[in-house]
Structure formats: C-alpha cells, structure tokens
Structure 1
Amino acid sequence: MNTVFRTYLLPGLVFQSVIIGGGYGTGREIAEFFLSHGAVGGLLGLMTTAAVWAVLLALGFEFARLTKGYDYRTFFQALLGPFWRLFEILYVLIALLVLSVLGSAAGHMVAEAFGVPTVIGSLGLLLAIGALAFFGSKAIERIMAWWSLLLYALYAIFFIYVSVTYGDAIATSLGEGARTGGWLLDGVRYAAYNLIAFAAVLFVLPQLKTRREALVSGALAGAISIVPGILVFVAMLARYLQIQEEAVPVVYLLQLLNAVWLTILFQIVLFGTFVETGVGIIHAINERIGAAMKSAGRAFSRRARLAVAVALLATAIFLAEAIGIIDLIASGYGLLSYAFIAIVVLPLLTIGVFKIVTATPSQLEDHRVSRQQN
C-alpha cells in the first residue's frame, strides 16, 4: 500500500502542495484567470488547466525517469541542452513572483486577523519556510503529503458550508450560464505558469520505475491538483461580482460566513499552504545547488540551505510590500506564463516526446533492473 501511495499519489500531492498557496490559497488567482470568464467559462478554463497538467506532467515524469533528471538542472540539461539556463532564469523570476504573492497574502491575512502591520505576517511566513527548508527532503515530503490530505478535508468543509449558506446564489450564477471569451487561453496560461511546481516535485520521482507508473502518476497529478481550485471557484460564485475586487477572496468569503471556528481553522491551514508552496519552490533551488556542489565534490550544508531560503524570501517580501498582491498577479503572471510556454511546454511536447518515443532498450532495461533490485 505504501508503494502504491508513493508511486501514484505522492507526486500529485506534492505538486498540489506547491501550487496551492500561489494558485488557489488566496482565491485571487482564481478570480484573475477564471472568474472573469463567468461561471461556465471559468469551469471550462479549469478543465483546460487540468487536461494540460495531466498531459505535461505525464510526459515530464516519464522524461525525468528516462534521464534520471531528479533536479531541474539535470532535467533541463537533457531537455534544452546548452539553453537550460533559460529555464533557471525563468524559474527564479517566477519563484520571486510567487513568493511575493505569498508574502503579501500572508501579511493581509494576519493583519486582518490580529490588527498588526502586514509585515508581521510576511516575516512569520519567512521564518516558517526557512525552518522547514533547513530540514531537507524527507521532512518536506512527509509534511507536504499529510498537509495536503488535511487541506482536502478542510476545502471540502469550506465548500459545503458556503454551498449550504449561499446555495441559491451559486445556483443562480451557474444557471445564468455566463461565458466570456478567452477561457481556453487563460486555462492554458494558468497551467503553464503553475508548472513551476514541476521542478519542485522532481525529488520524489525516483520511486517511478516503469513507463506506465510515470504516465499514470502524471495524469493523476493533474486530476488531484485541480480539485481544490474547482471547490474554491464554485464557492466564489456566491458573490460573483463583489469578490473580483477583493485582495484575498477566500478570507472575504469566510468573513461573510461569520463562522469563527471555520475562519480560524481555515486561516491556520491556509497559512500552512503558503509555507508548503514557498518551501517547495525554494527546495527545488536548493536541490539544484546541492546537485551541482555534489558533482564538484563539495557538501551543501543545512545552514547554506537556510541562507538561500532567507535571501529569496527577503527579496520577495520587499517586492510584496512595495507592489501589492493584486498588481503582482495582474502584471506579473501573464507575461511569465507565455515565457513558460515557450521554454518548458513546447520543448517538452516536441523534444521531450521525441526522446521518450525513441528511448533505447538499454535505458528502459536500466530501470527494469533497478526496480528488481529495489
């Protein structure tokens, strides 16, 4: 049972853990990319995102298995050759953007809950992410898996509570069948920039030993990861027009519910999702540095991992305080999503597919033998 979990479910749970804070946690991204297209258009956009993830993650997991690319440097050297540093530049830019959004959201949430300056919540996020980054892969893997299961349970409770309280308003929004243009493109764009989480999931893929395991695990990851987004989107239909201007729409909905226990519990778990996302993004950078230092015969200490985390988060928090969450999402995500399509999606669908299809028997045999030995 543990093998089945680690092979087919863990990669999807880790992927979902990394995208949740920057993708669903605040609700701001859902409003920006999907709610603007109406009820039906938004749902179609979310389904587009799920399909894109399923295909690209399946291909990406198999490519990682064949090339043993379990850190993003190794993976993209195999995919892009000498141009792999284009991905690294893009990854760092998106990492800073997502961490800035998380810092801004954490600041807003803590400020509204306790009446303190927003920087307090941002600094709390920095400390939590730095502490977890210090302990490395095994601790991160366990926490991400269990926190994801807790998150699914809480999102389901949140969805049911909103549906029971504002079911008529949600039904009215769905019944109107509003659908505006651009949902297909936004579904692809949203899927593209969230593929930053792919780099963060590579460290759990050595468990995949066969092509079937890689393809099924990747497809399942797409389905696993879209569920929280759909729940948040449908809940947001309860206040379809008003919520589009809210900096943190999920907190706005919780305030409308006037359920103190749910608000407190949700905000605790939501803060945890911010930590998960930040840790996953930073851990991918630490794994890349660690692999490079290992190949050079040098060790990458826990203190060095912590220093990288603190430097990235400090920069991101400065950006969050200077710009703000709504402007960060509106101006930053769109352009970087197109760059991700050019540097990651298109090469994976062309070069990646070609290398997967033309994999030599010896490559496949290496993994078959490895599985027997394990």
Structure 2
Amino acid sequence: MMASSAYKKYFLPGLISQSVVVAGGYGTGRELVEYFVNYGSLGGVLGMALVTTVLWSLVFAVSYEFARTFKVYDYRSFFKELLGPGWVLYEACYIVLLLIVLGVVGATSGSIFMQSFGLPPLVGAALFLGGVATLTFFGSYVIEVAMSWWSYLLYAVFLVFLLVGLSQVGGQIGANLFSGEIKEGWALGGFKYAFYNMGTFPAILFALNYIENRKEAVLSGIMTSVITILPGFFLYLVIMGFYPAILETELPTYAILEKIAPWLLPVYMVVLFGTMIETGAGFIHAVNERINAWLVDRKGTGLTRANRGLLGGLMALVGLGIASFGLIGLIAKGYGTISWGFFILHGVALFTIGIYKIGRKKVDAR
C-alpha cells in the first residue's frame, strides 16, 4: 500500500508528463534539433541540463505545492486562483498550444503510417482520431493507467535506441560532444523549450491529488523534471552521431533508425504513434476537466462520458486540419512564440503571486 502511494506521489505525475511531452516535445527528434542541437554539440547539452531541467524542476515543484495548498486540480481552478480574472489569458495560450500540438501529432501520425507501412496518411489520422476519442471517453482513471504503463514501454524503446546508437556511431557521438561546440543562444533555446512544454502542465493536474505535504510536492516536481527529460537526452546523444548533417531533416529519429536499426523502426513508430494518441488525449482531457469543473459550478452536474468522447474526437479532428501547415513550421514558429506566454502567465506569476499566496495561506491557517 505504501509503495503504491509513493508511486502515485513521486512517479505518476512524471510518467504522465513524459507521455504528453514526448510526442510534441522530442518524439520525432525535430524538436530537439530546433531547440538544442542547433546550438552546437555541447551548447545543446547545456541548454537541456542547465536550463530546461532546472526550470522544469523549479516550476513543477512550486506548481505542485500551489495545487496542493489550494486543492486546485484542473487548469481553470488553478489559474483562476493564481491569476484572478487574468486566468482567461492563460486559457487563450493553452488553446493555441493545444491546436499547435494537435497539428504536430496529427502530421506525424500520418507520416508514420505512410513511411513505415506504406499506408495512406488518412489511416494514421483515423486511428489517431479514434484513439483520442476512446481515451477521453473513459476519462481520468483510464488515461492515468494508459499513460503510466505506456511510459515504461517508451522508456524501454528509447533505451534500446540509445544502446544501438552507442554501438553503431558511439565514436562519432563522443567526437562531437568532446569538440565542445557552443553556439550563441543555447540558453534561450533551453528556456523556450522549457516553457512551451510547460503548457503540458494542465494535463498533469488531475493526478496531483495524491500529494499530501510540501516535501512530497517538491520531490515530485523534481522527479517529474528528470523523468520527462531523460528519454530526450537519450535521443540527443544518438542524434550527435549524425551531427551536423541531421539539422535539415524533418523527421531525424526516423532517418537515424533507417540507417542504424531498421528492425527497430516499426516498433519505435508504433510506440510513438501510441504516444501521439496519449499526447492528444492528455491535452484534450485537461480541457474536458476545465469544462467539467465549470459545469459543476454552474449547474451541479458535469460532462457525461459521451460528451467527453465527442469533444475529444472533435478537437482531434481540428488538429488534423492544422497538420496541413507542415511539421517544421509548426515547431519552429508556433512553439517558440507561445513559450513567452507560458513564461509570463505561469512562470513569472507563479514565482511572484503564487509564492506570495502560498505563504499567506500558511499564515492564515495558523
């Protein structure tokens, strides 16, 4: 029982975060190229370790403590408590990010089935749509279980990918890393990556109600950061074996696997596709929870399962339409711009208003 409780407090939020971040954050490898690899072999490592990981640890830790203190486990309640009337600005940023992410995962889903199995992109799109609608239909518990168990499989595949990469191009990886190349802008790249991915925070909120005290909140926040970034670091190392030629490749992960481990490619693509569904479902479930909380406040009754599934399917369909804008453009322009909104409305607000309110709440409780 204690082991199960510790798992839900310290590991479950991180596994959910990783499941949601992977598809929009580093599953294709394009995101890592854009925000880390572009700044040199060592510059990317510094951006990932010293900026992204540290920022995530701090923001997750304080966010978890804020959610615990005020018992707010959906993003409407959380940001209403943090920002007051200004919470609607956060929601606007979140909806924009939701559409960008659904566009990215929708585009990637079609590419996976076309490149891996020779099937029309519509097949991947239909399966993506059906998977998202199914998970959102069943709600929090099924999403929680699906994301945590799928994360184990994802970690296993990324670890195999790393081991194969080290065995095939380990010399080139080492040579590129030890060259110590650092390009200007590495800190900004890590910063942008950290804060556009903080847009996944609403998808984690529903799983934070197991945290009971401040120590647990801080440790869970740090664990979330480490669990989320580690597979990305595995992939970054393998990408270094093909640097700098890999910089202009739209789907770096796919291109690398074709060269060093074609036998692993179908497995990776199936696992990645499942993660695309989880990412879409995680983002949409956060919206469903927000709508549900509003309905309970206003009418005393929440969303039915059918409502949740229908909303999930409709939002996923919109994302598939956005996918036509192209993967590289969505990642380079959309993510980079929206990161500033999350920095101000989540990061800055949390470390000013949020910490002040936590402190005041503690004083009031005496």
TM class, shorter-length: over 0.9
Alignment pair present for 1:268 and 2:270: yes
AA aligned opposite 2:142: A
Alignment match, 1:80 = 83
Equivalent in the alignment of 1:162: 165
Q: CA deviation at 1:16?
A: 1.2
Shift of 1:362: 5.9
Structure 1 Cα separation of the partners of residues 222 and 310 of structure 2: 35
Offset at 1:28?
Answer: 0.8
Q: C-alpha separation between the residues in 2 aligned to 1:253 and 1:184?
A: 26
CA drift of 1:299 comes to 3.0
Cα deviation, 1:322-351, whole Å, max 9, x if unaligned, reads x11011111111111111112111101110
Q: Residues 108-187 of structure 1 correspond to what in structure 2 (within 5 A)? A: 108-187=111-190
Match of 1:353 in 2: 355
Deviations 1:284-337 (A, max 9, x none): 00111111111221231111111211221111111102x110111111111111
Distance 1:264 1:105 in 2: 14
Percent identity, aligned pairs only? Answer: 39
How far the C-alpha of 1:205 sits from its partner, in A, is 0.6
Letter in 2 for 1:40: L
Letter in 1 for 2:159: A
Q: How does 1:1-374 map to 2 (within 5 A)?
A: 1-47=3-49, 48-260=51-263, 262-295=264-297, 296-321=299-324, 323-360=325-362, 363=365
Q: Cα deviation per residue 1:255-280 (whole Å; 9 max; x = unaligned)?
A: 011432x1121111111111111111
Compute the TM-score of the two structures, normalised by the length of structure 2. 0.96
Tell me if structure 1 keeps the 8 A contact 2:203–2:286: yes
Residue identity in the other structure for 1:349:
F
Aligned length: 362
CA distance in 2, matches of 1:256, 1:359: 56
Matched residue, 1:369: none
Partner Cα separation in structure 2 for residue 276 and residue 299 of structure 1: 23
SS in 1 for 2:212: coil
TM-superposed deviation, 1:169? 1.3
Q: Tell me the distance in 2 between the aligned counterparts of 1:293 and 1:308.
A: 15
Return 5+ residue gaps in structure 2 as ranges. Answer: none
* Kept in 1: contact 2:293–2:302 (CA 8 A): no
CA drift of 1:26 comes to 0.8
Distance 1:99 1:76 in 2: 22
Task: Tell me the distance in 1 between the aligned counterparts of 2:248 and 2:286.
Answer: 33
List structure 1 runs of 4+ shifted beyond 4 angstroms: none
TM-score w.r.t. length of structure 1: 0.94
Unaligned residue ranges in structure 1 (runs of 5+):
366-374
